[in-house]
Structure 1
């Protein structure tokens, strides 16, 4: 698994709440702050762009500018990190009716642009697969925490 291949990770959960309730949570870019171990703060710059402040024990704190690239009410909300033409990552939530509730998915893809992993990969090209796999595992853990937190909030609000 190499960074240039655009590795992805996706998690999902069934939410016992209507899609509109889940949509309200996933389309609020501040919601993941409550649940992620990495994302610390989000603030809007304008109608399409926001800044996320992150923290990681191995690299410290950093900020990224993100651009909303998909906002289909009740269905999908997605954004890219960094340069919209060559993002460091792409993220998306999708919601769809399922079993009297909502199927919530969160997906992300690394690359194709440079990211915080790029210097580590350049310094240790022989360890690229391990670096990428570890980062995907960290993303998966935070994403699972996030969709589970959204599920709990949505069920408490409208389930």
Structure 2
């Protein structure tokens, strides 16, 4: 259980898994203190994956497993945002999702719009299973942020988010993911978390590298 910080408990604790490897835990903030993680996950510390307790629980949802990576792109925030927010570009950016399309007649990004992605598990150069995922846009501010939930029926599985910040003559792009704590995902992350965390990080780094090349090529 995560406990609120107090005297002698104001720093993150480290406890050991059965394997002897450390598991970092971020403590719950005191009431009135700055949030540890907001909905866009932009306020969370880099690294990980970490177990981060959001200050505002949504319908009983608890801890998020999440991670993020950043990259500098020598292009304007508007240019980079356009490439990401038009999900039809996903196949040019993602190592796993080789195509995506808007649903319900949508033609562009807006909060609430749905799209689906065609995924080859393990990467488009592998022979992993192929399937569609349904997604719903949750964050959409032109030139600033774009985020979406991956959903299964009415249940949210995970959240992906991109933040775009002016930096010098270009843009600092931060991509993050967070798993919603469903019982299945708790078990999955317990068994495969370290491997999947490293895999997701590599994929995000690859995505931002492709985004950088595409945006800077004009």
Give the structure-2-normalised TM-score: 0.61
Residue 64 (1) aligns with residue 133 (2) = yes
Distance 2:98 2:215 in 1: 21
1:41/1:113 CA distance change after superposition, 3 Å: farther
Equivalent pair of 1:66/1:82 in contact (CA under 8 Å)? yes
1:152/1:119 CA distance change after superposition, 3 Å: closer
2:64 corresponds to which residue?
Answer: 6
* Structure 1 residue corresponding to 2:196, chosen from 135, 141, 159: 135
1:92/1:134 CA distance change after superposition, 3 Å: same
What per-residue deviation string (whole Å, max 9, x for no partner) do you get for residues 127-159 of structure 1?
x435012112111111111111111111111xx
Give the structure-1-normalised TM-score: 0.81
Larger Rg: 2
1:84/1:154 CA distance change after superposition, 3 Å: farther
Gaps of 5+ in 2: 1-22, 24-49, 52-61, 107-112
The within-5 A match list for 1:109-120 is: 109-113=178-182, 118=184
Instruction: Select the structure that is richer in helix.
Output: 1
Q: Could you say what secondary structure the match of 2:181 adopts?
A: coil
What per-residue deviation string (whole Å, max 9, x for no partner) do you get for residues 63-84 of structure 1?
2110001110110000001159
The within-5 A match list for 1:116-127 is: 118=184, 121=187
Distance 1:14 1:119 in 2: 32
